Chain A
Amino acid sequence: MQYKSQAVARLYFIAAIGLFVAQILFGLIMGLQYVVGDFLFPAIPFNVARMVHTNALIVWLLMGFMGAAYYMVPEESETELFSPKLAVLMFWVFLAAAALTVLGYLLVPYAGLAKMTGNDLLPTMGREFLEQPLPTKVGIVVVALVFLFNITMTVLKGKKTAISLVLLLGLWGLALFFLFSFYNPDNVVKDKFYWWWVVHLWVEGVWELILGAILAFVLIKVTGVDREVIEKWLYVIVTLTLITGIIGTGHHYYWIGTPEYWQWWGSIFSALEPIPFFAMTLFAFNMVNRRRREHPNKAATLWALGTGVMSFLGAGVWGFLHTLAPVNFYTHGTQITAAHGHMAFYGAYVMVVLTMISYAMPILRGRAANPGKAQVAEMWAFWLMTVSIVFITLFLTAAGILQIWLQRVAATPMSFMDAQDQVALFYWMREWAGVVFLTGLVVYITSFFVKGETAKA
């Protein structure tokens, strides 16, 4: 690596992968509970498994983003980090907060956890994805602010590139919109309305800036294409993202008590949301085709291309499938949403973090790229995980279509649980696809320990 302080990224990446494992294990528990309802009950009820599954995902992606930022920003700014010590300290604070929170979820009944952690002072808990106790939420804000201070100071004292500008904007936006998680009015309509300012404006807004910046950075490194070309692509992509995605928030405002004009605004703008993702796919393939060097890290290039394709499929295509209001009337709150969520999160954010780890981790370990055998293992992991997420998505889509038909369209609609029994076969297939995913993850982790000849970084 070019700058000593980039080394802090390594801690973040390792913790990210650790939480990734936890996320998948709890995912498998939930998947099994879908078909064997009393599995692990009452030790780990479904809602607890789901909290761990989704919160671990969010935290490990944030860890990945932070690690990526700590790796990228010194190289982009051509200067050491403002304070590597602060970065290490914040890592341990964040990890401890995450671990304590997960232990709290697993060991204390949720209502008790709420009481213990002062939810009565400012009730923010118990909303999807924002289940964290108040101290954790405050901790996230503190860690984010210190992190942003560190990164921003580094950029300010060094060179300011388009990539670090877009990255910084994404990260600041991330911190800013998280503040809406502290707003929890009694009015359910308002609660839900601003809840989406965290959730949607994260994943279909500012996170995409971070995604674009990371992808652009890795593509510059592995293809050797002119920075100027890549930066223009980046600007075009993030512009398209925000001009469609911000008002695209409206596609969550169809049926939650909000006025009906959102059905039009939401449908029209979110129908355009696949465009930036398609541009991202074109971008990744174009740059790799125009490459000016053969980087020894083939795995990283594969992850980068995979991000382009899978984010388009998961976020773009599967998002479009149910984003138009007349379609969403039937699909809202069904397994279709789950199908989209799985492929979109994997294709966009999991893959971009793994792209960064794939590129940076060998360098952090003092080599340009991993040995050939290790890369082959990593590519196996890529295919196992990617193909199984495609199947998870297809099975959930099938389950969703059937569910909608039985429960919402048929002349004599079934009750929710009766419909669930009818689609159990697809849940079983999803669970087996999940097992393949875990296999891929095990292969992925193994690839870090495969030894062989390497060139020095």
Chain B
Amino acid sequence: MAGTFTTSMARNMFFGGTVFFLLVFLALTFQNEQIIPQRDQRAQLDANPAIAAGKKLWETNQCIGCHTLLGEGAYFAPELGNVYKRRGPEFIKAWIKTQPTNTPGRRQMPQFNFTEQQLDELVAFLKYVSEINTSNWPPNIEG
């Protein structure tokens, strides 16, 4: 009987293999949840509600549509996961306020008309992201 290849065994292999690897993945996810508190700066989130507000501003203005954050997003504009360290809070706020540059032919960032408080919230969010332990990514400050 050796050497046959039955459809029913192929199906068993498919179901068994899928369930098996899903379980391994869930175990890895469980371990992930146990370890990330040491890396994700969650204490900051509890201490400073401005971060969550900043994240919401980040989302509702669709910043990810041009920028990357920790390398994920669009590749049209600079990485912002480490922009707090690259530019500092005052530069970030000034930059956002003066957009768009309207330089002919250059990429343009819209004017979002943020209030001073909203700018501070965005900066708080970017500061928090810059302090997440990303295993030393990006390779240098330019992102």
Q: Which residues of A are in contact with B by a Cβ distance under 8 Å?
A: 30, 33-34, 36-38, 41-42, 45-48, 50-51, 110-111, 114-115, 119, 123, 125-128, 131, 162, 165-166, 184, 186-190, 192-193, 228, 231-232, 235-236, 238-239, 242-243, 246-247, 249-250, 253-263, 265, 329-330, 332-335, 337-338, 407-409, 413-417, 419-420
Task: Known contacts A50-B65, A189-B132, A260-B135; decide if A235 and B71 are in contact (CB<8 Å).
Answer: no
Q: Considering the chains assembled together, what is the distance between the CA atoms of A260 and B58 in angstroms?
A: 27
Chain A residues whose C-beta falls within 8 Å of the C-beta of B128 in the assembled complex: 188
Which of the residues A114, A119, A128, A257 comes within 8 Å of B39, measured between beta carbons?
A257
Chain A residues whose C-beta falls within 8 Å of the C-beta of B10 in the assembled complex: 231-232, 235-236, 239
Q: Considering the chains assembled together, what is the distance between the CA atoms of A213 and B21 in angstroms?
A: 21
Taking A190-B36, A333-B72 as given, write out 19 further A-B residue pairs in contact, using a Cβ cutoff of 8 Å, ordered by the A residue number.
Answer: A37-B106, A37-B107, A45-B66, A47-B65, A47-B74, A50-B76, A114-B60, A123-B56, A162-B7, A186-B55, A192-B70, A231-B10, A235-B13, A235-B14, A247-B28, A257-B39, A258-B39, A259-B31, A416-B77
Shortest C-beta distance, B53 to chain A (Å), equals 9
Q: Do B62 and A231 touch across chains, with their CB atoms under 8 A apart?
A: no
Task: Known contacts A246-B25, A332-B137; decide if A413 and B142 are in contact (CB<8 Å).
Answer: yes
Q: Do B55 and A333 touch across chains, with their CB atoms under 8 A apart?
A: no
Task: Known contacts A189-B132, A329-B137, A408-B142; decide if A256 and B71 are in contact (CB<8 Å).
Answer: yes
Name which residue of chain B comes closest to A331, CB basis. B71
How many residues of chain B are within 8 Å of chain A by beta carbon?
Answer: 70
Q: Considering the chains assembled together, what is the distance between the CA atoms of A236 and B17 in angstroms?
A: 11
Within 8 A of A (CB), among B38-75: 39-40, 42, 45, 51-52, 55-56, 58-66, 68-75
Which of the residues B40, B110, B138 comes within 8 Å of A189, measured between beta carbons?
B40
Q: Does B120 contact A (CB under 8 A)?
A: no
Q: Does B89 contact A (CB under 8 A)?
A: no
Shortest C-beta distance, A173 to chain B (Å), equals 10
Q: Do A42 and B134 touch across chains, with their CB atoms under 8 A apart?
A: no
Shortest C-beta distance, B85 to chain A (Å), equals 14
Task: Known contacts A114-B60, A123-B56, A408-B142; decide if A257 and B70 are in contact (CB<8 Å).
Answer: yes
Within 8 A of A (CB), among B63-114: 63-66, 68-79, 100, 102-108, 110, 112
Chain B residues whose C-beta falls within 8 Å of the C-beta of A242 in the assembled complex: 14, 17-18, 21-22
Task: Known contacts A125-B59, A126-B60; decide if A258 and B138 are in contact (CB<8 Å).
Answer: no
Name which residue of chain B comes closest to A129, CB basis. B64
A-B contacts, CB under 8 A, total:
223
Q: Does B3 contact A (CB under 8 A)?
A: no
Q: Does B117 contact A (CB under 8 A)?
A: no
Q: Do A333 and B71 touch across chains, with their CB atoms under 8 A apart?
A: yes
Q: Do A187 and B139 touch across chains, with their CB atoms under 8 A apart?
A: no
Q: Do A188 and B72 touch across chains, with their CB atoms under 8 A apart?
A: no
Task: Known contacts A38-B106, A126-B59, A333-B71; decide if A247 and B39 are in contact (CB<8 Å).
Answer: no
Task: Known contacts A33-B107, A47-B65, A126-B62; decide if A243 and B17 are in contact (CB<8 Å).
Answer: yes
User: Could you list 20 A-B pairs, sorted by A, with CB under 8 Å?
Assistant: A38-B104, A46-B77, A47-B65, A51-B65, A111-B112, A123-B59, A125-B62, A126-B63, A128-B65, A128-B72, A187-B42, A239-B10, A239-B14, A239-B18, A246-B18, A247-B24, A255-B70, A259-B39, A409-B139, A416-B77
Task: Known contacts A111-B60, A242-B18, A332-B137; decide if A38 and B105 are in contact (CB<8 Å).
Answer: yes
Task: Known contacts A38-B107, A126-B61; decide if A415 and B76 are in contact (CB<8 Å).
Answer: no
